């Protein structure tokens, strides 16, 4: 067998191994995925979905995006909650409390009582390379497809600053100006399609299943509605290193 043929065979073998490992990785991760939202007993439905979350640390902590969490709970009784699909397929709702929030990096951590979920291990996101294969699991389009975790696959297409100067003054908003002033930080650009509802989804290494980042936004070519009809296939994730820092805070 020639050298070129050996090289191609090697690439094919590695690709086949990665594909074979993905179902096993997904099976390990899915029990850690939860729907994040608010709960009010007199509402119909009682649970209002806002985004995806996943268990970390000791299994009583849930990581998600800061923008998934309402600025304040409804004074008429709506409370933060997570929804979980059990082994028997039934959906159960658990009360959650906001433990900490990092708006600059769009991350939040919730605390649940009375239950521990299988927690996901966080990777050293500083070692992530462009071209690395990834997957992410969450609830695209919320409850429209039913609350069963959905898996997407792609690669890290770029590691780029999250705050980029606009082409003109009209493209600058208060948040972007604040980020430029405080210093931009690197974010993972993914060659994968995320949808509304994927906010807070864990981005994981296909082979190890360790979390390298958290989905926080998708590039939209037109209106918000076009994210469903004409998805760009470009999504972004906050590196897990910032989640580690948030978890280490007292």
Strand partners for 168: none
DSSP 81-130: EEEEE-TTS-EEEEEEEEEEEETTTTEEEEEESS---PPPPBP-GGG--T
- For residue 229, is it within any domain? yes
pLDDT average, residue stretch 5-14: 44
- For residue 220, is it within any domain? yes
Query: Buried b vs exposed e over 202-230: b needs ≥16 C-beta within 10 Å?
Result: bbbbbeebbbbbbbbbbeeeeeeeebeee
Pick from 2-11, 61-70, 79-88, 150-159: least confident: 2-11
Phi-psi region of 125 (alpha: psi -120 to 50; beta: other; left: phi over 0): alpha
- For residue 198, is it within any domain? yes
- For residue 158, is it within any domain? yes
| pLDDT tens digits for range 82-116 | 998 777 778 899 999 999 999 989 999 999 988 89
- For residue 37, is it within any domain? no
Dist. CA 126–CA 17, nearest whole Å: 25
Q: Is the peptide bond before 45 cis (omega within 30 degrees of 0)?
A: yes
pLDDT average, residue stretch 162-188: 60
Residues 188 and 239 sit within 8 Å (Cβ to Cβ):
yes
Residues 35 and 139 sit within 8 Å (Cβ to Cβ):
yes
Q: Does pLDDT of 225 surpass 70?
A: no
- CATH number of the domain that residue 163 is part of: 2.40.10.10
22 versus 155: the higher-pLDDT residue is 155
DSSP 4-18: HHHHHHHHHHHHHHH
pTM attached to this predicted model: 0.81
Considering 34-43, 53-62, 89-98, 138-147, the range whose residues carry the highest mean pLDDT is 53-62
Domain count, the chain: 1
Domain that holds residue 131: 125-248
pLDDT value, residue 160? 87
Q: Which helix or strand (DSSP H or E) is residue 66 part of?
A: none
247: helix, coil or strand?
helix
pLDDT value, residue 179? 57
- For residue 232, is it within any domain? yes
pLDDT average, residue stretch 187-195: 90
**Is residue 200 packed enough to be buried (19+ CB in 10 Å), middle (13-18) or exposed (0-12)?**
buried
Token digits of residue 41: 């007993």
- For residue 58, is it within any domain? no
- For residue 43, is it within any domain? no
């Amino acid at each position: 067998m020639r050298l070129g043929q050996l090289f191609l065979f090697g690439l094919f073998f590695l690709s086949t191994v990665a594909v074979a490992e993905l179902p096993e990785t997904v099976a390990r991760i899915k029990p850690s995925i939860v729907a994040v939202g608010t709960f009010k007993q007199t509402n119909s439905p009682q649970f209002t979905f806002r985004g995806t979350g996943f268990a970390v640390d000791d299994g009583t902590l849930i990581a998600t995006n800061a923008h998934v969490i309402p600025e304040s709970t409804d004074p008429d009784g709506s409370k933060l909650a997570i929804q979980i699909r059990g082994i028997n397929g039934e959906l159960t709702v658990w009360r959650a409390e906001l433990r900490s929030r990092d708006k600059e990096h769009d991350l939040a951590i919730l605390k649940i009582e009375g239950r521990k979920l299988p927690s996901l291990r966080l990777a050293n996101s500083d070692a992530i390379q462009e071209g690395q294969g990834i997957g992410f699991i969450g609830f695209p389009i919320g409850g429209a497809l039913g609350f069963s975790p959905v898996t997407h696959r792609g690669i890290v297409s770029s590691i780029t600053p999250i705050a980029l100067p606009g082409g003109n003054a009209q493209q600058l908003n208060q948040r972007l100006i604040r980020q430029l002033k405080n210093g931009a930080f690197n974010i993972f650009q993914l060659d994968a399609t995320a949808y509304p509802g994927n906010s807070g989804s864990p981005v994981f290494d296909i082979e190890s299943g360790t979390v390298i980042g958290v989905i926080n936004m998708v590039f939209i070519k037109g209106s918000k509605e076009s994210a469903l009809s004409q998805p760009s296939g470009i999504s972004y994730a906050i590196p897990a290193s910032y989640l580690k820092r948030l978890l280490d805070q007292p």
